[in-house]
């Protein structure tokens, strides 16, 4: 490519790159603002509905408490009980059905009577809990004796003398028209926004699609958090694979979680239209600017030619000196020269960072096997004696299974920090596997390395880790050339000593002295 064509290319880049960067930055900022506003709105809406639901549940319990007070002296009057059950259901509109039962769980009255429960003894978990606890309760969702998926709210009936007589309860039929529909069913938009409610077991108890009620929600971070009693906002993917922006809040008395969400695509649709309109209006000015730059490019050929020669070899460390020697006699070429020098500096820093990253374990920030190989080559080339401490976490699978992989990762990071604190500046701590670690100690005898290993073992045993509590490690120690003149054999010996510690009861240091077949075990 000749110089003129190169100048033209640079001219186009000089005009288009800033415009594209500004356009992209504007889009990114506005996109984030829209997403944040939607998340805040959904969080506020979910919090409001959680409060409204909590208020409804408290009001329902007050209604039941009032009815229980009225019935305390009328438990023998079946007709009166039936009338009161009908009155409560018709006046409050809070429940799909009302049931009054005695202290044995026998149904005395229901509304509507078509339920056919009169005289039957109820044995659902909700009724058993009411009879056992003898206090106001809101049940977890369950399948009732009549085949309905319900939530049962009850209040005990106590005589004036304080004797427990039974309870009055209201049922909300989750798969039929109910109070939750009226309370929560107004959150509908044509853009696909909706809300749903889950219980503590992440089972859906309200959803605009009735077919989803009773389903369990899996692999949804937002549902996991709200089912755990947290409130907040975040991105999620629904069961149809649609990216959603969700706000969530728990209902304190029941542990239910309300999630209000809107499709991310619907949130960003106005922004896409706005950016297209902006692009069309900005295009004439961009074209005029390009024409002016093309004309101006004829005046800057010599400095740009020299800079272009330097640009072709920017990965060469000597190119920075060549570019600095270019006599840039006008502002634009000086700025381009400065930018190229900055680019060279950034490239060289990126290469250095890349080399560092390839030798570093991303979780613990310890060295990896590449770092180990480099260190061993250095020790071998310098004929430098060194010791090896091989260690891994005892029962680490149990940590992951009991507390989760996040807690397991935190345990690995804490162990890595403990290793760094136990090491000297020139020691090489490494992570070589899942929970497998090495420490290379240059110019260190077997006895000294064993003392370091024991000190590290005690430090780990005393360390406290969030959620997990404490862990222990088993360690094996070897030395080059005391254990073997072959480096691979030294590493293998350290591993063998590690497994000797495992077999010996874990949480200990094992070392094979020179010329001995027996492992010497320290620690307990």
Phi, psi of 474 (to 5 degrees): -110, 140
Tell me the domains of the chain and their CATH numbers. 3-28+289-352 (no CATH), 178-266 (3.30.450.20), 369-523 (3.30.70.270)
Beta strands 473-480 and 508-511, pairing class: parallel
Determine if the peptide bond prior to 480 is cis (ω within 30°): no
Dihedral sign from CA coordinates of 39, 45, 48, 53:
negative
The three-state (H, E, C) secondary structure of 241-257, written as one string: CCEEEEEEEECCCCCCE
Least Cα distance to 72 among 154, 131, 134, 159 occurs for: 159
Contacts of 96 (CB under 8 A, 6+ apart): 89, 148, 150, 171, 172, 173, 176, 178
**Whether the Cβ atoms of residue 392 and residue 435 lie closer than 8 Å to each other:** yes
- List per-residue pLDDT tens for the chain, 524 residues long: 555 667 677 777 776 777 788 878 888 888 899 889 999 999 998 899 889 888 888 888 898 999 999 898 888 888 888 888 888 888 877 888 899 999 998 999 988 876 778 888 888 888 999 999 999 998 888 877 667 788 889 999 999 988 999 999 988 888 787 777 777 765 555 678 888 899 889 998 888 888 888 889 988 999 999 999 999 999 989 888 889 999 999 988 888 898 998 999 888 888 888 888 887 787 787 777 777 767 766 666 667 677 777 777 666 666 777 777 777 776 767 777 777 777 766 666 665 565 666 778 888 889 888 889 988 998 888 888 999 999 999 999 999 999 998 999 999 999 999 999 999 888 999 998 888 999 999 999 999 999 999 999 999 999 999 888 899 999 999 998 888 888 899 999 999 999 999 999 999 999 986 555 435 455 54
Which tokens go with 447?
């006895």
Backbone angles phi, psi at 312, to 5 degrees: -70, -15
Question: Which residue shows structure tokens 């978990």?
Answer: 125
Give the per-residue pLDDT at 114.
Answer: 66
| Pairing verdict, β 473-480 and 386-393 | antiparallel
Q: What is the 3-state secondary structure (H, E, C) of 424-466?
A: CCCCEEEECCCCEEEEEEECCCHHHHHHHHHHHHHHHHHCCEC
pLDDT value of position 496: 93
- Do residues 260 and 234 touch, judged by C-beta distance below 8 A? no
- Which two tokens mark 457? 């073992």
For residue 232, the model assigns a pLDDT of 94
Q: Kindly report whether the peptide bond that precedes residue 166 is cis, defined as omega within 30 degrees of 0.
A: no
Phi, psi of 178 (to 5 degrees): -150, 180
In whole angstroms, give the CA distance from residue 311 to residue 6.
11
pLDDT value of position 524: 46
- Supply the DSSP symbol for 325: T
* Distance of alpha carbon 322 from alpha carbon 162, whole angstroms: 98
Q: What count of Cα atoms within 13 Å lies in the side-chain half-sphere of residue 199?
A: 17
Q: What is the CA radius of gyration of the chain?
A: 36
Instruction: Starting at the earlier edge strand, list the strands of the sheet with 257-263.
Output: 204-206, 194-198, 257-263, 243-250, 232-237
Token match 């094992």: residue?
A: 510
Partners of 279 in beta bridges: none
Query: Catalytic residues, which ones?
Result: 435
């Amino acid at each position: 490519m000749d110089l003129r064509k190169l100048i033209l290319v640079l001219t186009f880049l000089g005009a288009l790159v800033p415009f594209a960067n500004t356009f992209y930055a504007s889009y990114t900022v506005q996109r984030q603002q829209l997403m944040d506003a939607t998340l805040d709105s959904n969080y506020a809406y979910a919090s409001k509905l959680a409060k409204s639901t909590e208020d409804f549940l408290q009001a329902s319990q007050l209604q039941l408490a009032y009815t229980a007070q009225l019935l305390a002296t009328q438990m023998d009057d079946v007709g009166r009980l039936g009338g009161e059950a009908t009155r409560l259901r018709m006046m409050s509109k809070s429940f799909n059905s009302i049931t009054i039962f005695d202290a044995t769980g026998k149904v005395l009255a229901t509304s509507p009577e078509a339920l056919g429960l009169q005289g039957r003894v109820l044995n659902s978990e909700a009724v058993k809990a009411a009879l056992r606890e003898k206090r106001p309760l809101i049940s977890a969702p369950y399948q009732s004796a009549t085949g309905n998926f319900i939530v049962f709210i009850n209040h005990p009936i106590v005589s004036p003398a304080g004797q427990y007589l039974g309870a009055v309860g209201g049922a909300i039929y989750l798969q039929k028209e109910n109070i939750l529909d009226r309370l929560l069913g107004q959150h509908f938009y044509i853009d696909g926004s909706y809300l749903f409610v889950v219980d503590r077991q992440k089972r859906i108890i309200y959803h605009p699609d009735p077919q989803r009620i009773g389903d369990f929600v899996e692999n949804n971070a937002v549902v996991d958090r709200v089912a755990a009693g947290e409130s907040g906002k975040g991105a999620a993917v629904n069961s149809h694979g649609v990216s959603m922006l969700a706000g969530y809040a728990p209902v304190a008395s029941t542990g239910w979680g309300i999630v209000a969400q809107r499709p991310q695509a619907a949130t960003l649709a106005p922004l896409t239209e706005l950016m297209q309109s902006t692009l069309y209006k900005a295009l004439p000015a961009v074209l005029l600017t390009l024409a002016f730059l093309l004309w101006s490019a004829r005046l800057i050929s010599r400095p740009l030619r020299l800079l272009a020669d330097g640009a072709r070899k920017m990965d060469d460390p000597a190119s920075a000196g060549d570019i600095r020697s270019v006599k840039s006699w006008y502002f634009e070429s000086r700025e381009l020269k400065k930018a190229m020098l900055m680019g060279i500096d950034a490239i060289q820093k990126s290469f250095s960072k890349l080399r560092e990253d390839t030798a570093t374990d991303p979780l613990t920030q310890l060295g990896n096997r590449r770092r180990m190989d480099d260190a061993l080559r250095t020790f071998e080339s310098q004929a430098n004696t060194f010791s090896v401490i091989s260690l891994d976490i005892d029962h680490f699978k149990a940590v992951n299974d009991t507390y989760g992989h996040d807690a397991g990762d935190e345990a690995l990071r804490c162990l890595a920090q403990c290793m760094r604190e136990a090491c000297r500046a020139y020691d090489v701590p490494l992570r070589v596997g899942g929970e497998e670690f090495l420490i290379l100690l240059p110019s260190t005898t077997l006895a000294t390395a064993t003392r370091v290993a024991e000190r590290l073992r005690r430090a780990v045993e005393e360390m406290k880790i969030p959620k997990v509590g404490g862990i222990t490690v088993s360690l094996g120690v070897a030395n080059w050339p005391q254990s073997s003149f072959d480096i691979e054999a030294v590493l293998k010996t350290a591993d063998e000593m590690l497994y000797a510690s495992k077999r010996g009861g874990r949480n200990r240091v094992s070392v094979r002295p020179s010329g001995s077949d027996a492992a010497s075990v320290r620690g307990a």
